[in-house]
Structure 1
Amino acid sequence: MRMSKGVEWALHTLLNLHMTGGGPVGSGQLAAVHGLSATYLNKQLQLLVKAGLLTSLPGARGGFRLARALQDITLLDVVEAIEGDVRPFQCTEIRCCGRVGELTPPPSEACPVKVAMVRAEDAWRQALAAQTLAEIQTELEHRPDVADAVRSALS
Structure 2
Amino acid sequence: MKYSRATDYALHTMLFLVQATPKETMSVHKLAERHDVSPTYLSKILTKLVKAGMIESLPGMSGGYKLKSNWADISFLDVIQAIEGTASLFDCSFDHGPQCPIQRIVLQGESKMESYFKSMTLADLAKEIK
**TM-score of the superposition, structure 2-length normalised?**
0.91
Look up the equivalent residue of 1:18 and give its one-letter code: V
Question: 1:37 offset after TM fit, Å?
Answer: 1.6
Question: 1:70 offset after TM fit, Å?
Answer: 3.7
Question: 1:33 offset after TM fit, Å?
Answer: 1.2
Question: 1:25 offset after TM fit, Å?
Answer: 1.1
Task: Please list, as runs of the form range in 1=range in 2, the aligned pairs for 1:25-44 lying within 5 A after superposition.
Answer: 25-44=26-45
Q: How many residues end up aligned between the 2 structures?
A: 129
2:115 matched to 1:114? no
Larger displacement relative to structure 2 (80-89 or 109-118)? 109-118
Identity, % of aligned positions: 36
Q: Relative to 1, partners in 2 of residues 1:91 and 1:9: Cα closer, same or farther, differing over 3 Å?
A: same
Displaced runs of 4+ in structure 1, greater than 3 A? Answer: none
Map of 1:93 onto structure 2: 94
Aligned-residue CA RMSD (Å): 1.7
Task: Please list, as runs of the form range in 1=range in 2, the aligned pairs for 1:1-155 lying within 5 A after superposition.
Answer: 1-21=1-21, 22-93=23-94, 110-141=99-130
Question: Which protein shows a greater Rg?
Answer: 1
Look up the equivalent residue of 1:84 and give its one-letter code: G
Deviations 1:81-110 (A, max 9, x none): 011111110012176xxxxxxxxxxx9x62
CA distance in 1 between partners of 2:106 and 2:100 (Å): 10
* Structure 1: gaps (5+ residues): 96-106, 142-155
Q: Secondary structure at the residue paired with 1:65?
A: strand
Q: Is the 8 A contact 1:48 1:78 kept in 2?
A: yes
Q: Is the 8 A contact 2:77 2:117 kept in 1?
A: yes
Q: Is the 8 A contact 2:6 2:45 kept in 1?
A: yes
**TM-score of the superposition, structure 1-length normalised?**
0.77
Q: Is the 8 A contact 1:23 1:63 kept in 2?
A: no
Larger displacement relative to structure 2 (54-63 or 85-94)? 85-94
Q: Is the 8 A contact 2:54 2:71 kept in 1?
A: no
* Structure 2: gaps (5+ residues): none
Q: Secondary structure at the residue paired with 2:50?
A: helix
